[in-house]
Structure 1
Amino acid sequence: MITYYRDGDVLVTSTGIRMDGRDYRLSELARVWHSRGRRQWSAVAGRGVLGLAVLVPVLIGAIGISIAVLVEASTAVTIALVGGGILIGLVALPLADVLLEFVDRSHDRGSHPLEIWAEVRGTRVLLLRSNNRQRFGQIYRALQRALDQDTVSQGDQA
């Protein structure tokens, strides 16, 4: 028996699969396909909030510098406004790095849940739903390799 993929919830081997607590022999799977679920607007909104959180300190800094240049104030006030704007921009850099990491992770998760479906004994069965695109891809490729190998094995027996 060859193991193509294994984690705490999913097992894909050359003889069968275990997903969502259910076991299936590869020969039971008449057809396997994947699809995207409905868009999760909370994920899209979360990315928007993260984008705003990155931009707001930069905008505040730019506004401070603009005010310093446009307002006819004393030299000390102008220097304080420009310095404050630059400091706010500099403080935003480490924060932006952390926030952009969260944006990257949200793109990895995606805004659509990904699903693996199969036809088992004439019935459509949802095998897996995941928001993690990388994990989903690994599982789906493992399932395809297992099914391809099963088809080759069945052809050798005929």
Structure 2
Amino acid sequence: MTTYYRDPDVLITSSGVRMNGREFRLPELIRVWHTRGSRSWSVIAKRGALGLAILIPVAVGALAIGIALLVHLSAVHTVALVLGGVLVGLAVVPVADLLLERVDRSYDHGSRTMEIWGRVRGGDVLLLRTTNAQRFGRVYRALQRALEPAVHR
């Protein structure tokens, strides 16, 4: 028996599937398909907020440099504003790395609810519902690999 995918809630092998608390032998699954729900605007808004959190300090630094160059101040004040603007811009770099990592993770998890459905003799059954795009892809590919030999027998 070959195991294609395993986690605490899902087991896909060459002989059967266990998902959503139900077990099916592969020949029982007549058809398998997936659906995608609508986008979660709260996830997209969080991504936008993270982007703004990176851009605002950079904009403040650039504004300080712009003011220092446009307004006729003493040399000491001009240098202080330019250095302050550069320091504010540079201070963003370590924070930006952390924020960009969070943005990357949000794309891995996705912004939609995805479902895997299967058709058995008794009708259509929901096999899996998740918002984790990475997990969804792994499970769906494993299910396709498991069903492939069953179709060709």
TM range (shorter): over 0.9
- 1:109-148 matches, within 5 Å, as 109-148=109-148
Taking the TM superposition and a 5 Å limit, the aligned residue runs for 1:98-113 are 98-113=98-113
Tell me by how many angstroms 1:104 deviates: 0.7
Give the alignment's TM-score, normalised by structure 1. 0.92
Within-5 A mapping of 1:78-93: 78-93=78-93
* Matching residue of 2:22: 22
Report the residue type matching 1:60 in the other structure: V
Provide the secondary structure at the position in 2 that maps to 1:126: strand
Equivalent-residue separation in structure 1 for 2:33 and 2:61 (angstroms):
50
Residue 38 (structure 2) aligns with: 38
CA displacement at 1:134 relative to structure 2:
2.0
Q: TM-score, normalised by structure 2?
A: 0.94
In 1, the alpha carbon distance for the partners of 2:122 and 2:36 equals 22
- Aligned CA RMSD, in angstroms, stands at 1.2
Moved over 3 A (4+): none
8 Å Cα contact 2:113/2:130 also seen in 1: yes
State the SS of the aligned residue for 1:9: coil
Other-structure match for 2:65: 65
Partners of 2:149 and 2:2 lie apart in 1 by: 10
Identity score, percent: 61
Structure 1: unaligned runs, 5 residues or longer: none
Deviations 1:97-139 (A, max 9, x none): 1111111111111111221111122422211112222221111
